[in-house]
């Protein structure tokens, strides 16, 4: 399945430092979707990401499989999924602007609109 240019699927076993560098390299807003393949609400959100990416081409979307990237998920205190974090490059560390837990497409769209 092809993804829009502004969508990245985080490779398995990415180290937290490499993830931090990835976010820090972005000039604008970064939406991180923490998901698992066995989670039906997660799969609904994963299916919406390409549409959202098309609507918000200046936002970087990063999909993180929590089972393949436990260290990154742990860094963001992910305990329930889907878990969406809105990040921006900060002073040496990504800054979390907003977090939404659960499948709430309306709130995700509203947050994208207000932050981007």
pLDDT, residue 2, reads 57
Domain ranges within the chain, ordered by starting residue: 7-115
pLDDT averaged per 10 residues in sequence order, the chain, 116 residues: 80 95 92 96 94 95 97 95 94 90 97 94
pLDDT, residue 3, reads 66
pLDDT, residue 44, reads 96
Could you give the residue numbers annotated as active site? Answer: 39, 42
Angle of helix 40-55 relative to helix 105-115, nearest 10 degrees? 30
Q: Distance between alpha carbon 72 and the CA centroid of its chain, in Å? A: 11
The β-bridge relationship of strands 95-101 and 60-65 is unpaired
CA atoms of 32 and 14, how far apart (whole Å)? 14
pTM of the model as a whole: 0.93
pLDDT, residue 40, reads 96
Q: What is the CATH number of domain 7-115?
A: 3.40.30.10
Contacts of 102 (CB under 8 A, 6+ apart): 41, 80, 82
């Amino acid at each position: 399945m092809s993804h829009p240019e502004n969508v990245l699927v985080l490779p398995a076993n990415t180290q937290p430092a490499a993830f931090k560098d990835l976010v820090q390299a972005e000039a604008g807003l970064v939406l991180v979707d923490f998901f698992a393949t066995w989670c039906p609400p997660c799969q609904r959100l994963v299916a919406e990401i390409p549409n959202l990416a098309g609507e918000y081409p200046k936002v970087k979307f990063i999909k993180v499989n929590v089972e393949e990237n436990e260290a990154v998920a742990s860094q963001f205190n992910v305990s329930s999924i889907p878990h969406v974090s809105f990040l921006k490059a900060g002073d040496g560390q990504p800054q979390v602007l907003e977090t939404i837990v659960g499948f709430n497409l309306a709130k995700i769209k509203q947050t994208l609109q207000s932050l981007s």
